[in-house]
């Protein structure tokens, strides 16, 4: 029997179960927000990351990277290989860009 998230009837245990339990309330809250609110939040963080300087810019990009990492972790069991690779590459790029901005490289 396959569940809606791609897993075959198995329940999460250990750390994954704890993260899923703690994440349930924030995910429901984010789901209930109008779509434009999240879009504006991502846009503002990107502008801060691109137009800001130093560690302020790095912080904006790192917040985006943390959100992406959180969502990637929650969705990881349901993703195929290409979805996992895309999220991993996106995280590496965001963290690399944040470090570059923070260190003043670009």
Q: List pLDDT tens digits, range 5-56.
A: 555 556 778 899 999 999 999 999 999 999 999 999 999 999 999 998 899 9
Q: Is the pLDDT of residue 58 over 80?
A: yes
- 12-33 b/e with 16+ CB inside 10 Å = b? eeeeeeeeeeeeeeeeeeeeee
CA 77 – CA 95 distance, rounded (Å):
23
pLDDT value for 46:
93
pLDDT value for 12:
74
Mean pLDDT of 81-99: 95
| 13 three-state secondary structure | coil
pLDDT value for 10:
67
Q: Closest by alpha carbon to 52, among 90, 95, 91, 106?
A: 106
Summarize the chain as % helix, strand, coil (round to 5).
Answer: 80, 0, 20
Q: Is the pLDDT of residue 62 over 80?
A: yes
């Amino acid at each position: 029997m396959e569940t809606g998230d791609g897993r075959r009837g198995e329940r999460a245990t250990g750390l994954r179960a704890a993260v899923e339990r703690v994440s349930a309330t924030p995910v429901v809250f984010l789901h209930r927000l109008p779509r434009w609110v999240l879009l504006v939040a991502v846009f503002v963080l990107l502008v801060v990351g691109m137009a800001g300087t130093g560690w302020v810019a790095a912080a904006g990009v790192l917040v985006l990277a943390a959100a992406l990492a959180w969502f990637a972790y929650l969705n990881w069991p349901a993703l195929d290989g290409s979805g996992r690779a895309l999220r991993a590459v996106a995280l590496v790029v965001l963290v690399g860009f944040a470090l570059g901005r923070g260190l003043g490289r670009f």
